[in-house]
A = this chain, B = another copy of it.
Amino acid sequence: MKVLAFDIFGTVVDWHGSIAREMAQLHPQVDGDAFALAWRAGYKPAMARVMSGELGWTLIDDLHRMILDTILPQFGLAHLGEEERRHLNKVWHRLDPWPDSVEGLTRLKKKFTITTLSNGNIGLLTNMAKRAGLPWDCVLSAEVFRAYKPDPATYLGVAKVFDLKPEEVMLVAAHHDDLAGARKCGLKTAYVERPLESGAKNPKDVSPRPENDYHCASLVAVAEALGC
- Report A's interface with B, CB cutoff 8 A: 61, 113, 115, 121-123, 126-127, 129-130, 137-140, 143-144, 161-163
Name A122's contact: one of B61, B127, B129, B138 (CB within 8 Å).
B138
Name A126's contact: one of B61, B123, B138, B144 (CB within 8 Å).
B138
Per the bound structure, the CA–CA distance linking A140 and B161 in Å amounts to 13
| A144-B144, A161-B123 known; A138 vs B139 contact (CB < 8 Å) | yes
This protein's copies in its complex: 2
B144 A122 Cβ-Cβ under 8 A? yes
Per the bound structure, the CA–CA distance linking A130 and B112 in Å amounts to 10
A126 B137 Cβ-Cβ under 8 A? yes
Which B-chain residue is minimally distant from A164 (CB atoms)?
B123
Contacts of A161 in B (CB 8 A): 121-123, 126, 143
Name A130's contact: one of B126, B137, B143 (CB within 8 Å).
B137
Contacts of A143 in B (CB 8 A): 144, 161
Which B-chain residue is minimally distant from A90 (CB atoms)?
B163
Per the bound structure, the CA–CA distance linking A194 and B163 in Å amounts to 31
| A138-B139, A139-B138 known; A162 vs B126 contact (CB < 8 Å) | yes
**Would you give the shortest CB distance from A146 to chain B, in whole angstroms?**
10
Contacts of A139 in B (CB 8 A): 138-139
Per the bound structure, the CA–CA distance linking A61 and B162 in Å amounts to 11
Per the bound structure, the CA–CA distance linking A138 and B129 in Å amounts to 9
Per the bound structure, the CA–CA distance linking A139 and B140 in Å amounts to 9
- 20 of the cross-chain contacts (CB-CB < 8 Å) are A61-B163, A113-B130, A115-B126, A121-B161, A122-B140, A122-B144, A122-B161, A123-B161, A123-B163, A126-B137, A126-B138, A126-B161, A126-B162, A127-B162, A129-B137, A138-B139, A139-B139, A143-B144, A143-B161, A144-B144
